[in-house]
Amino acid sequence: MIKMNTAHCAEHFQAAPWFILGGGAMGCLWAYDLSPNSIILVKPERYRHYTSGSTKSLITTQLAYQQTPFASPNTRKCKLANIQNYTSPILKLIVTTKAQDTVAALETIQHTLHSHAHILLLQNGMGSQQAVKKQFPEYTLWCGSTTQGAYTTDFLHVVHAGLGQTCIGPWYISTETNPRYSAIFQQQLITQGQQVIFIDDILPLLWRKLAVNACVNGLTVLFECKNGELLTHPKHLKWVKTLCQETAQFLDYKRIAYTKPLFQHVCHVLEQTAENYSSTYMDVSHQRSTELMYINGFILSEAKRLGLSLPTHTTLMAQLAEKGIF
């Protein structure tokens, strides 16, 4: 951890670059919108492959962006840093890694984090946020939930598949946090291009997003289908309905308010994203580990702690495990 010289601190914080930890679709989307003041942090093997073995710790390259799947790509300058030997201080960080990779990824760059660093976590599910707070209590943490849709066609080439908004709220604000830094952090994110809203209490929104994912993602893998097919097949829809009933019961027990019945909301999401494949489906199709332990798995662990039985969630996870999906 790096200490900051107190002279001109706010000015330094304002001018500091935005670092993106995680070079996937969401990471590229944020890097593009924050360009030219953004730096994507990547693993050494990816960095060496992309730079043909460069020994430099930082290069300037091009990031391609398509506003829609059929639009011509635009490019902006973007910096790429090798996390293995990059040592310049990090003040503003957005983490877009998979939930299961978040803590380990932060550990690799902890030596470059300022003592006053602000970190925005943008992970699916829950559990990783709590782990980061426990492991890194000295930093100011923010959490976000997004409805943006994006995918990559190649490294540093992102397609903005669906416009949405990102809600961000404080997760852990230490007593040492300078309120001027927080104000700068918020203002720069609000003005960067994407629709960003800051709210005081992010936790209920994270729970609601988790509830939708828990009723959708695992089923798309179990039945190997697009989101919309969960609505059109009676057997699939029965699973959705039962999962929604159990999840709504769980949310009620946790006293998490919902603006509309969960099943109604999930059906609306499935209609809006009918032609999409869930992120979990995409992980499985690319032979990557999934975030299900931070979605249905997190709900089940919380339910067990509360003495609640969620048999359909349990059955779903068991059937996926039989297929080697975790």
Helix (H, G, I), strand (E, B) or coil at 5: coil
Asked whether the predicted pLDDT for residue 129 surpasses 60, the reply is yes
pLDDT of residue 55: 87
Asked whether the predicted pLDDT for residue 132 surpasses 90, the reply is yes
Helices and strands: H and E segment counts in the chain? 13, 11
User: Once rounded to an integer, what is the mean pLDDT over residues 81-108?
Assistant: 95
Instruction: Specify whether 235 is catalytic.
Output: no
The H-or-E segment that residue 218 falls in is helix 203-222
Q: For residue 6, name the pLDDT band (cuts at 50, 70, 90).
A: very low
Q: For residue 8, name the pLDDT band (cuts at 50, 70, 90).
A: low
pLDDT of residue 1: 66
pLDDT of residue 161: 85
Asked whether the predicted pLDDT for residue 192 surpasses 90, the reply is no
pLDDT of residue 41: 97
In contact, 93 and 118? CB cutoff 8 Å: yes
- Which ranges constitute the DSSP H helices of 177-202? 179-190
pLDDT of residue 7: 42
Asked whether the predicted pLDDT for residue 174 surpasses 90, the reply is no
β-sheet with 113-121: strand ranges across: 149-154, 157-162, 58-66, 74-82, 38-42, 18-21, 90-95, 113-121, 140-146, 165-172, 195-198
The H-or-E segment that residue 66 falls in is strand 58-66
* pLDDT tens digits, 44-67: 999 999 999 888 999 999 999 999
pLDDT of residue 3: 58
How confident is the prediction for the chain on average, in pLDDT? Answer: 94
Asked whether the predicted pLDDT for residue 5 surpasses 80, the reply is no
149: which strand partners? 162
Q: Is the pTM of this model over 0.85?
A: yes
User: Once rounded to an integer, what is the mean pLDDT over residues 206-233?
Assistant: 97
pLDDT of residue 177: 78
List the catalytic residue out of 3, 79, 209, 238. Answer: 209
pLDDT of residue 4: 54
pLDDT of residue 193: 83
User: Once rounded to an integer, what is the mean pLDDT over residues 273-288?
Assistant: 93
Please tell me the distance from the alpha carbon of residue 210 to that of residue 225, in angstroms, as a whole number. Answer: 20
